[in-house]
Amino acid sequence: EAQVTQNPRYLITVTGKKLTVTCSQNMNHEYMSWYRQDPGLGLRQIYYSMNVEVTDKGDVPEGYKVSRKEKRNFPLILESPSPNQTSLYFCASSLGAGGPIEQYFGPGTRLTVT
Amino acid sequence: AQKVTQAQTEISVVEKEDVTLDCVYETRDTTYYLFWYKQPPSGELVFLIRRNSFDEQNEISGRYSWNFQKSTSSFNFTITASQVVDSAVYFCALRTNAGNNRKLIWGLGTSLAVNP
């Protein structure tokens, strides 16, 4: 089944404790992206990747890191989480350059930083 | 500037009523794409439809229909004979062809409650 998976689905952590949210897709998509969803602010892009080893900042990259060492994986790293990073996170993927291709989303990761 | 506005924050209907969710977008690009996603209470984002700027044909899929009007920059979504399972937050989103980033610009969503 074609899908985007994220782990963990739920995470409660404390300020400053490094964490990684994994994202994996099995559709051989070149493009991957991370969004966060917050009440009243909607969904905002954090980082995106056009292909392996090609990543760039989205609208709200501060406090986050990403890597794209393999085509299927695009982990989101919070080196020192803070309470303002409490949010619902979505990973998305789509085919590469050109064409109006829709993005497929993972199930979401609900992160709480205390 | 690019923007998506969903003016209806919350809508409540009784089962079997028809309901229309409004979406107005802003972009200066001539080529762009519009999307609707559904977010049920479980939280995932479910793709519903994509529309290209050069294709103004309306679309119907079962009880769902979409009305795309470039003249008014609107891409409205109608659910006919609503059901309780339609209860969700619905998002309209825009993507342009500018640059490599396939970032979606999202509206804030319309929360639809369908009551039995």
- Answer whether A103 sits within 8 Å of B47, measured CB to CB: yes
pLDDT per residue rounded down to tens, chain A (114 residues): 889 999 999 999 999 999 999 999 999 999 999 999 999 899 999 999 989 999 999 999 999 999 999 999 999 999 999 999 999 999 999 886 655 478 899 999 999 999
Chain A positions in Cβ-Cβ contact with residue B103 (cut-off 8 Å): 33, 45, 48, 58-59
Which parts of chain B have pLDDT scores under 70? 98
What is the structure's pLDDT at A102?
Answer: 82
For residue A104, give the H/E element and its range.
strand A104-105
For residues B38 and B45, what is the distance between their CA atoms, to the nearest angstrom? 6
Chain B positions in Cβ-Cβ contact with residue A40 (cut-off 8 Å): 108
B77 CB within 8 Å of a chain A CB: no
What is the structure's pLDDT at B57?
Answer: 82
Chain A positions in Cβ-Cβ contact with residue B45 (cut-off 8 Å): 90, 105, 108
Q: Are B33 and B102 in contact (CB under 8 A)?
A: no
Q: Which of B71, B60, B82 is nearest to B24 (CA)?
A: B71
What is the structure's pLDDT at B82?
Answer: 97
